[in-house]
Every structure is written in C-alpha cells, then in structure tokens.
Amino acid sequence: MTAWVHRNLIVRAEHVQLARDLCRAIAGPQAQAGMFSAPLSPTGAAPATHYASVGLIDADFAALLPPPDHSSEIAALALQAGMTVSQSEIAEMLAASDVSEGSPWDAMARLGLQMVQGGAS
Amino acid sequence: MLIRWASARPWSPAALFAAGEVGAWYDPSDLTAMYQDAAGTIPAAVGQPVGLLLDKSQGVASAEQIVNGRFDSDISGWVNAGGGTLAWADGDLQITVTGTAGFAAQSIGGATPGGRWYRMSGRARVVSGGGNAQAYLWDGTTAYGASAAITSASWTAFQTFVFLPATVTSAVIRLRAGITGAVVEFDDVSVVSVAGNHATQSGTARPTLMQDAGGRYYLAFDGVDDSLSAAGVNLSGTGKVVVVAGLLKASDSAIGVVVTHNDPISSTQGWMLTAPTVAGTADFGFRSRGSGSAALASFADASVAAPRLAVICAASDIAGPEVSLRINGLMRATTSTSQGAGFFANAALSIGRRASGSPFNGRLYSLIVRGAASTAAQVEAAEAWVNSKTGAF
C-alpha cells in the first residue's frame, strides 16, 4: 500500500521541464500532467520564475528529494525508464530547488514568491 | 379502505438527470466513487489523494462491450491479432507467444467508441516462460489505459478506467502476452462503458479526500495546484445551466475558481463559479457567457467572508438573459445583462482551478452541474441534498 507524505516542491522556471520529464520517467506519464503546474513569481505577475507542486507524494519518491543529494540515484532511475540525463544536470536542478513540509504559503514567503494569478474572466 | 402509501425513498440528485439531462454529480461522501489514481486502479480513502472522481449523474451505469470474457466453453468472439497462438484452456484464454508478443482482440464500442469512459477488468497469470500479461484498449495506433504488466504465476486481477477521445472511431480490447515462448492465460475479462463525465487528475495536483469534525467527507483543494478535470462535458445543446456546490471557502486573499466550463470564458462561451471573485474581497460570484460578453452575478458582504461554509446555487440562461446566485437557499444576486446568444459548448469541466491558475482554496463537499432548465422545486431539492452533505445552513 502506498504511503503518502505531504511536500512542497518548488523549482526554478528554467528547470521545470526537466523536473516534469523526470517525474514522467520515474512515476509514469500520468504523473507528469499534475506536477509543477502552479506558476510563481516575486510579484505575482507573469512571467513565472518558479513552478510549484504541492500535495501528497509517494514516500519512496519523497525519499529521493534533497537533502541529501540523490542525483545519481535519480539519473539511474531515469535511465532505466529510457531517459538520458546527466547527474550534474539533476544535481544543479535539485540544488536550485526548494523542498519543504508544512504550509506552501510559508515556503513561498520564505523564498519571496507569490502565486501568479490567472484572473476570473 | 383506500390506503395511500407515501414513498420512503429519499430524494436523490439522480432525479435531476432521469430524463437524460447532461451534467455531472460528484459526491465525495461516496467512497465507492473515488480512486487514488486517474486510471481507477486503487480506491481512495480519507487522507489519500483522489485522481478519479466518478460522476454519478447517469448512475455510473455500465453496459458490457464484449462477448465471452469468461471463456466458459470456448474462446469464440476473440480473434488472433498476431504474434502467437490462441487456445481454450479449461475455462481460460491461453496465449502462447511465438513472436515478441502475442495478442487476442475483440472490438468494443460499436461504431462510435470515442468520447466515452470504459472500465476494463479481468485477471491473468503467467503459466510458463517468464512472460507477462497486459490489457489495454487500442485504436490501431495508440494504446489507452494499459494495465500494469502481470508477471505472477498466480491469478492477478487488473482494472483500469479509461476515456477514449472523441476522435477514436474504432477500438478493440487487446490482451497482450509477452515474451517469446511464454504461455499466458486470461479470464473474467470485461469491458464496460461507464456513463458519466468522470473527473481525473494526477501527481500532486490531486485533491485530498478528508473528513471534517462532523464526519462529513470533502475534497480538500490546496489553493496552489489542486484540480480535477472532466473532458467532453457536452452542454452544446443547451443555454441553461444550474450549478450547486457545497463548499468551504478557506481564504478571500486570491481569486478561487470552484468550477468552470470551457475555460477561458473571456474568449468563448462558458461559465465559472468563483470563491472569491475578486482578490481580497469577501464574495462569491458566477459568470456566464454566450456569444457575447460574460455577465456576472456576485454577492460581496462581510457575512460571506472566509472561512465560510456555504451551499452555492448558481444558474444561467443565455437567452433569458439571466444569471443568478443563491447562497444557503437565499437569492443574493441576479443580473439580466446580455450574454449574447447561443448555447454552451462541448468542453472540459475544470474543478478547483482554471488552466491559467486561480486555484480554489477550500473544501468541496458536493457538486452538481445540470445543463437544463430547472424548476424552483428541483433547485431547492438539490440545495437541500447538497446541504445534507455540507452542513452550511
């Protein structure tokens, strides 16, 4: 049975495609669509500088997230799934990312980020 | 003596759809109608994410699409789709793989399989050869809803919910056996069409099934990325809609889209229920648009400031023209501003967020969408039922 844990994952915009691709490789195509879909920026206005994924994730997946650095293990899992990506690329993305528990609003405030608002019209 | 028997059967939202009205009825209090994953393989429980929320408006009615899935006496109805040999083996379908993979297949869905949901299920085992077993729907190009590969020598059940896009014009169920030399068996295979506009999500964007202090079930939307989406909700034959939602609005700080149809309605016909409608304002609102501009009925007042438990009933009639908003059984806003003409669309229903953002921060206890003219009695019955799941008034 899957054990679920709550995490706030925030990646820089230049890393979001890699983050989504790694989720797809490791967790399957179904996982990609629902990951890193929330745009963030310092002012709350577009363009997004970061993207957030907030919610329940598999505990096994959570164990791969920093700290410590698991980039070599992630690269190996990606390779098993047919995705070639260097360990250094993954390490760079992880080093620039923020992983936390608790309130996503606290995490955004700590990083000086706000949700990019989509409007209501 | 004439005795009149009063019906003891409680009113159900199913009554709103009994004549084939288009819409959806999502009921988080029904634990049989939710799964953790979009493919519907693992039922959801409290504290777990919900990736598939079944629409109960059509009673989750199902119709078997294949014949002879039990293989009681033979394998008639199934064709050899290559890569192996098929045989009947004591009540099972046996595939012996001669290529890299062997296939048995049977057509499903008749002449119009697309635009519908199916539940594919069965069981399989690997008899010898270290192979694997899998089932999926196939349109000649693409596999849909592939089950997890079964490698066990013991009978292992599989079940997958899958939506075939409207563009699919022919489809089969494929029973796949790999690898070369393997012998694989299938039994109790079924493909049923599952009526309804079922909503899905994946990853961290799935809402979480929770229970409040009163024991009421709800879906928790985190106000960041949570949402559910149902493809192809066909309101193209009507310009009337009623939306009844039992919810708790947790914050007024940012615009929250509770549910919207055919987003973005700034450029096309559709509607959107928001909580709040204006960032930093204590309000609820409902926009609706035909061929013209969107008309908004909203109610702003300290009495609806977050956190606010409420049953919202929003309605629109493009031709009226009218947009209205009831809160906890009381009419709070109406407008007769023109929305243009025409009907709504055949488009996705998005719950908890629109594509560009504006995530809803709060709880959803129940949601009914009905694309038809509704009487006052129907509206009030729907509100009362949703309130029984919400406890707002």
Name the average pLDDT for chain A: 90
Least Cα distance to A87 among A103, A76, A97 occurs for: A76
Q: Is the pLDDT of residue A46 over 80?
A: yes
Nearest CB to A30; choose among B37, B266, B356: B37
- Cβ-Cβ contacts under 8 Å, A37 against chain B: 203, 205, 225
B229/A contact by beta carbon, under 8 A = no
Q: Which residues pair with B163 in a beta bridge?
A: B117
- In 10 A of CB B72, how many CB atoms? 9
Distance from CA of B203 to the nearest CA of A (A): 4
Distance from CA of A86 to the nearest CA of B (A): 24
Report A:96-115 residues touching B (Cβ under 8 A). Answer: 104, 115
Report B:32-91 residues touching A (Cβ under 8 A). Answer: 36-39, 42, 47-49, 51
For position A31, what pLDDT does the model report? 64
Which ipTM did the prediction report?
A: 0.92
Q: What is the pLDDT along chain B (393 residues), one digit of tens a residue?
A: 445 555 567 899 999 999 999 999 999 999 999 999 999 989 999 999 999 999 999 988 788 999 999 999 999 999 999 999 999 999 999 999 999 999 999 999 788 899 899 999 999 999 999 999 999 999 999 999 999 999 999 999 999 999 999 899 999 999 999 999 999 999 999 999 999 999 999 999 999 999 999 999 999 999 999 999 999 899 999 999 999 999 999 999 999 999 999 999 988 999 999 999 999 999 999 999 999 999 999 999 999 999 999 999 999 999 999 999 999 999 999 999 999 999 999 999 999 999 888 999 999 999 999 999 999 999 999 999 999 999 999
- Cβ-Cβ contacts under 8 Å, B279 against chain A: 117
For position B4, what pLDDT does the model report? 52
For position A66, what pLDDT does the model report? 83
Would you say B75 and B86 are in contact if contact means Cβ atoms under 8 Å apart?
A: yes
For position B241, what pLDDT does the model report? 98
Distance from CA of B386 to the nearest CA of A (A): 25
Name B118's Cβ contacts closer than 8 Å, sequence gap at least 6.
B65, B108, B109, B137, B145, B161, B162, B163, B164, B191, B192, B193, B194
Average of per-residue pLDDT across A20-34: 78
pLDDT per position as a tens digit, A76-121 = 999 998 899 999 999 999 999 999 999 999 999 999 999 998 766 6
Contact A120 B272 (CB under 8 A): yes
B201/A contact by beta carbon, under 8 A = yes
As a whole number of angstroms, the distance between CA B5 and CA B381 comes to 21
Q: How far is C-alpha B93 from the geometric centre of its chain's CA atoms? A: 32
Crossing angle for the helix pair A16-27 and A71-80, to the nearest 10 degrees: 60
Q: Which residue has the tokens 């691709």?
A: A21
Contact A120 B294 (CB under 8 A): no
Least Cα distance to B282 among B245, B246, B327, B322 occurs for: B327
B279/A contact by beta carbon, under 8 A = yes
A55/B contact by beta carbon, under 8 A = yes
Would you say B112 and B119 are in contact if contact means Cβ atoms under 8 Å apart?
A: no
